[in-house]
Amino acid sequence: MKTYVGNGREGKFGYVNFTLDVDKLIPYVFEYKGKKYVKLTMSKKKEVDQYGKSHTVYIDEFKAEPREEVTNAQHNPDRETVQDLPF
Q: In angstroms, rounded to a whole number, what is the distance separating the alpha carbons of residues 15 and 45?
A: 15
What string of pLDDT tens digits covers the 87 residues of the chain? 899 999 999 998 989 999 999 999 999 999 999 999 999 999 999 999 999 999 999 999 887 787 777 665 555 555 555 566 565
Q: What residues contact 39, with CB distance under 8 A and at least 6 apart?
A: 28, 30, 59, 60, 61, 62
Whole-number Å distance between alpha carbons of 8 and 85: 63
List the chain domain ranges. 4-66
